[in-house]
């Protein structure tokens, strides 16, 4: 069981200021949960954050597990302190999640070396 769970209602893919941002959010309000992945457009390290930019780090993802209801991000042990000592984050994606397909596709490409085949 994951330490943190985000039940996504929205997915998003945005290119801005030389970065690709892929996110999943529970809603549009600031206090609602989210996960965000950020990478330079030319490739490079991925920044991952959960619910607040204070809970994030670069090169923090140890692996990804994909299931029928979403995916789970395993956090590197040496980066767990940046996430309040959480070691995994589940993202639940239901059939009503808006823009889930393009966000998942962009995330697969961004995390190609970690995303299971």
Tokens of 9: 């209602």
Tell me, yes or no, whether 27 lies in a domain. yes
Tokens of 90: 């589940």
Q: Which of 34, 43, 31, 44 is nearest to 103 (CA)?
A: 34
Q: pTM value?
A: 0.95
Tell me, yes or no, whether 77 lies in a domain. yes
Q: Which domain holds residue 82?
A: 4-110
The secondary structure of the chain in percent helix, strand, coil, rounded to multiples of 5, reads 15, 50, 35
Q: Which of 21, 17, 28 is nearest to 102 (CA)?
A: 21
Tell me, yes or no, whether 73 lies in a domain. yes
Tell me, yes or no, whether 116 lies in a domain. no
pLDDT tens per residue across span 56-95 = 999 999 999 999 899 999 999 999 999 999 999 999 998 8
Under 8 Å between Cβ of 97 and 8: yes
Least confident of 20-24, 62-66, 95-99, 113-117: 113-117
Tell me, yes or no, whether 117 lies in a domain. no
H/E element, 59: none
- Is residue 80 classed as helix, strand or coil in its secondary structure? helix
Tell me, yes or no, whether 75 lies in a domain. yes
Enumerate the H helices of the chain as residue ranges. Answer: 100-110
Number of domains comprising the chain: 1
């Amino acid at each position: 069981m994951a330490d943190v769970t985000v039940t996504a209602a929205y997915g998003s893919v945005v290119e801005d200021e030389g970065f690709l941002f892929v996110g999943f959010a529970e809603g549009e309000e600031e206090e609602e949960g989210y996960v965000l992945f950020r990478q330079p457009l030319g490739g490079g390290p991925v920044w991952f954050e959960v619910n607040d930019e204070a809970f994030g780090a670069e090169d923090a993802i140890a692996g990804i597990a994909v299931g029928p209801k979403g995916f789970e991000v395993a956090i590197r042990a040496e980066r767990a302190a940046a996430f309040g000592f959480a070691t995994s984050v589940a993202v639940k994606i239901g059939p009503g999640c808006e823009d889930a397909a393009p966000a998942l596709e962009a995330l697969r490409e961004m995390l190609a070396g970690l995303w299971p085949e």
